[in-house]
Amino acid sequence: MSGMFLSSKLTTILLLFTNKSLDPGQNIQENTLLSVYGNSSWHFDEVRNQCYFHQFMKEQPDLNFRNPDVQEEIKEILRFWLTKGVDGFSFDAVKFLLEAKHLRDEIQVNKTQIPDTVTQYSELYHDFTTTQVGMHDIVRSFRQTMDQYSTEPGRYRFMGTEAYAESIDRTVMYYGLPFIQEVDFPFNNYLTMLDTVSGNSVYEVITSWMENMPEGKWPNWMIGGPDSSRLTSRLGNQYVNVMNMLLFTLPGTPITYYGEEIGMGNIVATNLNESYDINTLRSKSPMQWDNSSNAGFSEASHTWLPTNSDYHTVNVDSCSVTHARVQWRDLGTLQPLPPGFK
């Protein structure tokens, strides 16, 4: 592996694999690591005659966060926006910040499976590409940078993290240690992982979070988000009001995703650029404001993602959702703020 500098300070690069015997146009991978979307984590760049590493799409190459210059550049970006007055940041996919230095092939879940047939992310254990030693140190260093801008009275800078599908006991570690603050909210998306609901399943998620959360920390809850199927599509329209009521009456802070209050559903597969996976876009269709063109979201001839086909009846202006919308708004006024927030 090699970290490289280009001429610009901004471009402290990537995880690269150099093979001196590589002929022009010959695509050789470092190993068989898979991206989250199931394709190879390595993409060959013809200009550099090298492969670069990406845990997500090939358009999202991984930065080499083991390089202190990369970390410092990210802090400079934070300082730029904090100076502009932003109130906080959400750090996405933080468990992917570091990879094991050796970057060996990861272990198959089914050891009898023929290696060449392993094509899905779920078919591997990801002990070498997630939650590596030193990852929390990097996150804490970002927190410390933000704290430098939280000294003004009444001006606290909020920090949240998205850790994906780690277990609850590992996710709450992002709150930090008793004397070392890390993040304010490790986003609690475990209710979004329920494909069916029962009193017991909901109780188990809530109880597990509250019992594992460090003393003195503040809980948060989500029933929808950009990386999960929408509530209506996941559980059924009959649960929209129930789950919204639950969200706003749990102890802590509710985090809502646009459209969940009116029961927006997933979009179906359409003619998208082949670079994109419909599963990553299904819950990202335009907000459905009314029954006009593009659901009132845009006056353009078409939007990048299509509106859901039900927008004529499921929209903010629709009489069928008016009561739910008012109820949702009124419930929001009951929520207290976390300690220290105004």
Q: How far apart are CA 342 and CA 80, in angstroms?
A: 24
Instruction: State both tokens at 147.
Output: 């704290």
Amino acid at the residue 177: L
Residue 157 DSSP code: P
- Residue 93 CA from chain centroid, whole number: 5
Crossing angle for the helix pair 319-332 and 240-249, nearest 10 degrees? 10
Q: How far apart are CA 26 and CA 70, in angstroms?
A: 29
Beta bridge partners of 88: 158
Q: Which residues are catalytic?
A: 92, 162
Q: If DSSP codes are grouped into helix, strand and coil, which group holds residue 148?
A: coil
Q: If DSSP codes are grouped into helix, strand and coil, which group holds residue 190?
A: helix
Structural contact between residues 26 and 35, judged by C-beta atoms closer than 8 angstroms: no
Q: How far apart are CA 153 and CA 105, in angstroms?
A: 50
Q: How far apart are CA 40 and CA 31, in angstroms?
A: 9
Q: Which residue has the tokens 């649960």?
A: 239
Torsion from C-alpha of 56, 169, 127, 179, nearest 10 degrees: 90
Structural contact between residues 225 and 256, judged by C-beta atoms closer than 8 angstroms: no
Q: How far apart are CA 231 and CA 244, in angstroms?
A: 10
Q: Look at residues 311, 333, 327 and name the one whose alpha carbon lies nearest to residue 242.
A: 327
Q: Look at residues 131, 324, 331, 163 and name the one whose alpha carbon lies nearest to residue 247.
A: 331
Instruction: State both tokens at 45.
Output: 């760049």
Structural contact between residues 248 and 221, judged by C-beta atoms closer than 8 angstroms: no
CB neighbours (10 Å) of residue 49?
15
